[in-house]
Chain A
Amino acid sequence: MIPAPAGNAEFTIHPLADTGLLLQLGEQTSTALTRRIAALTAALDAAALPGLIDLVPSYTTLMLTLDPALADPAAIAATARHFWAEAAATQPAPGRQVTIPVIYGGERGPDLGDVAAHTGLSSEEVIARHAGAPYTVVCLGFAPGFAFLTGLPPELETPRLAKPRTHVPAGSVGIGGVQTGIYPLTTPGGWRLIGYTPSILFDPDRAEPFLLQPGDEVRFEPSAAPAE
């Protein structure tokens, strides 16, 4: 473990054998921390440091993948501390604003009624509050293009299904505990499905394969079902 120096560049670095570094950048998730990690990720990516081959930000960490033949871990760590201090000084701005249309309820939102029953709200109120809140993309993972969002209004918190579905269609919008999100691929899933979006979260053949990136600000916009 490389000890953390004093000052606002303070963070701990855990070596991941010879092929990575885990930067422990905070203890508790917050929108400010998410923005700062997104800024650090972007700066390190743009710096194109030799042997730094991948970056995986998450709630409180940034994982760097290294090619041991090319990387200088000490130099990469020093560069990361420099960018981290810079991100603290500049108070990174909010990320891109992305609006995602959602067709709430209906056949593709079969659990909207369950969420309403659990929360004691009407279906209309669930929709209004889900679509009224701003969300931040903390990180992507689980599946390509799957965004972990923070910002679900606490009153919408609803437990996951006791028995996950084996087949959740791509584009489904769900609530699972304190989290909400969109399934980018058809996968198994245990979240309560409250609607779907026609937006394509992940298309490997598109010039920009991913709709979302870490740090993005997301809003859901209620949308009418497309005409038959």
Chain B
Amino acid sequence: MSESALFVRRPGLLTTVQDLGRPGLGRFGVSAGGALDQGALILGNRLVGNEPGEAGLEISLIGPELVLTGASPVTIALTGADLGATRNALPLPRWESVSIAVGDVIAFAPDGGEGRGARAYLCVAGGFAIPPVMGSRATDLFGGFGGWQGRPLRAGDEVPLRGATGPLPQRRLRTPPPDYPSELIIHVVLGPQHDRFTGEARATLLSATYTVTPTSDRMGIRLSGPPLALTHGADMLSEGIALGAIQVPGDGAPIVLLRARQTIGGYPKIATVIGADLDALAQARPGDCLRFETVTVDQARALSLAHQSRFGEDAIVTNTESAVSDAGAAVMAESWDPDGVRRLVEALATAGVTEFRFEIAGLTLELRRGEGEDALAPSSGARSGAEAEPDDVILAPVLGTFYRRPAPDASPYFEPGAAVEGGQTIGLIEVMKTFTEVTAPRAGILAAFLVEDGVFVEYGQPLARLAAADDAL
């Protein structure tokens, strides 16, 4: 078969097929489910010319590694959070359509990108060749049905695509995409059981800051913060649970219920998040902070209408000239003329690339973003192999806390000025009790550390400068 498919090399943390869900089965115990950030899915579909409710991949925090198989290129669009997506190791732009070739590898940084937003959506022109179950291609993880075999993607899966759509014009958003702040104000309407809480609890809900905990999932966002006291205990007759309901079990720690929640439950609900804020809420990641503000039902409705209007057909524009954003295509198309290089530099700078090396027909183009400069600037354009290796900067492979020593009371791995072999550990980065080794990419002299021991570093942040061994004093 030559039909196209996405082959899963690595599944990521939780990658599922989702569309807009299957509302209408609540009375049978089936929640609507579907993409948690529906706006991001709708825009992704519009960018690739699909119906807005077509199924895409919902990618959570740590993304997969996917390879396009088959015989023909396809158009994709990545929307939602920046989880560090690449195509063939180059940054994959979000919020615009991109044509990918057979064999192209779509991967995600293991640290999950810039750390804002929790979920990305990958839409493919034509959608996935997956039969709908009870009217939807959404994966119901609790019920184990729908989507791809009723479960998250696994390594070795080959998810078939529905088919070639032919060449598509390049599309992008008309207005800037949503950003995903890590401090959110979420609007609510009190009720339906706010009168089962103390007045102090209602005041606390509307004044305190709550933190998203790592136990949050597609069913709900579990919050830590001041507990909310009930006046009549936490047990009540089970009833339907609204999307966005803020439910409070006996321990007083609120849970905001999302699309994959159970349909009914017996805990009191102090308030309900308005429709307009559900997409933003779905992008809250562990550690993000929420504050709640009340609005009236009429205000909520007006906000929802404004929110939904951002996902209409007119949210998309079609580029009339070829985009510069695809770095590889730009190089091929523009050859080495100065204007082509300038446009490539702009594209790379826009994509946040700090280093770029490209070899073709015996020529090498090597670009590096200079320290203290905003834009990428060409640093050399010489014949391949003619130049000595420049200094290397050792970058943080993940975000977290950087340590120069294996244990708090141990000596540092290396002092500045020491000679290191390629692959030797020069430090550790801790994130959530997991340690990642920082290794020297090659032999050299550890010229200087660029960050203090024990500080928090971002992914890709320069940690140390490595001088070539023959530059040694």
Contact = CB atoms under 8 A, between A and B. Distances in A.
B239 A19 contact: no
A55 B146 contact: no
B312 to A, nearest CB: 11
Given A19-B272, A68-B304, A210 B243 contact: no
A19 B274 contact: yes
Contacts of A59: 237-239
A18 B304 contact: yes
Given A213-B27, A213-B28, A68 B134 contact: no
Contacts of A69: 304-305, 308
A139 interface: yes
B275 A209 contact: no
Contacts of B305: 68-69
Interface string A20-43: 101000000100000000000100
B30, B191, B241, most chain A CB atoms within 10 A: B30
A15 interface: yes
Contact of B191 (A16, A145, A184): A16
A202 B144 CA distance: 11
Interchain residue pairs A-B with the least CB separation, the first 8? A63-B240, A56-B240, A141-B264, A14-B192, A18-B300, A16-B242, A140-B29, A56-B26
A57 B264 CA distance: 9
A70 to B, nearest CB: 10
Contact of B243 (A19, A57, A73): A19
B272 A17 contact: yes
Contacts of A184: 29
A177 B30 CA distance: 25
Interface in B354-377: none
A221 B416 CA distance: 81
Contacts of A63: 26, 239-242
Interface in B161-191: 188-189, 191
B254 to A, nearest CB: 15
B28 A144 contact: yes
Contact of B29 (A1, A20, A65, A143): A143
Given A18-B304, A204-B145, A61 B243 contact: no
Given A139-B264, A209-B134, A58 B189 contact: no
Interface residues of A, number: 44
Contacts of B272: 15-17, 19-20
A112 interface: no
Contacts, number: 151
Given A68-B300, A144-B143, A18 B275 contact: yes
Contacts of A185: 143-144
27 contacts: A14-B191, A15-B189, A17-B188, A19-B272, A19-B275, A20-B272, A22-B239, A53-B32, A54-B25, A56-B240, A56-B241, A57-B27, A58-B239, A59-B237, A63-B26, A65-B32, A68-B300, A69-B304, A139-B27, A141-B264, A142-B29, A144-B29, A144-B30, A145-B28, A185-B143, A204-B133, A213-B27
Contacts of B23: 53-54, 65
B418 interface: no
A153 to B, nearest CB: 21
B297 to A, nearest CB: 5
Interface of B: 23-30, 32, 133-134, 140, 142-146, 188-189, 191-192, 237-245, 262-265, 272-276, 297, 300-301, 303-305, 308
Contacts of A141: 29, 238, 262-265
B143 A209 contact: no
Nearest to A205: B133
Contacts of A14: 191-192
Interface string A160-201: 000000000000000000000000110000000000000000
Contacts of B26: 54-56, 63, 65
A47 B40 CA distance: 32
B24 to A, nearest CB: 6
Q: Which of B28, B191, B243, B275 has the most CB of A within 10 A?
A: B28
A171 to B, nearest CB: 15
A170 B262 CA distance: 18
Interface in A202-223: 202, 204-205, 209-210, 213-214
In the complex, which of the residues A17, A58, A184, A213 has the most CB atoms of chain B within 10 Å of its own CB atom? A17
Nearest to B142: A143
Contacts of B188: 17
Contacts of A123: none
A131 B150 CA distance: 35
Contact of A145 (B29, B275, B301, B304): B29
A148 interface: yes
Nearest to B195: A1
A23 B134 CA distance: 27
A54 B276 CA distance: 18
A19 B257 CA distance: 13
B202 to A, nearest CB: 15
A22 B240 contact: yes
Given A14-B192, A17-B273, A29-B237, A65 B297 contact: no
Contacts of A115: none
A59 B326 CA distance: 57
Nearest to B300: A18
Contacts of B25: 54, 144
A16 to B, nearest CB: 4
Contacts of B308: 68-69
Contacts of B29: 140-146, 184
A119 interface: no
Contacts of A60: 237, 239
A187 to B, nearest CB: 8
A56 B244 contact: no
A152 B192 CA distance: 30
Nearest to B238: A58
Given A144-B143, A204-B145, A214-B27, A58 B275 contact: no
Contacts of A213: 27-28
Nearest to A62: B240
A16 B245 CA distance: 8
A66 to B, nearest CB: 9
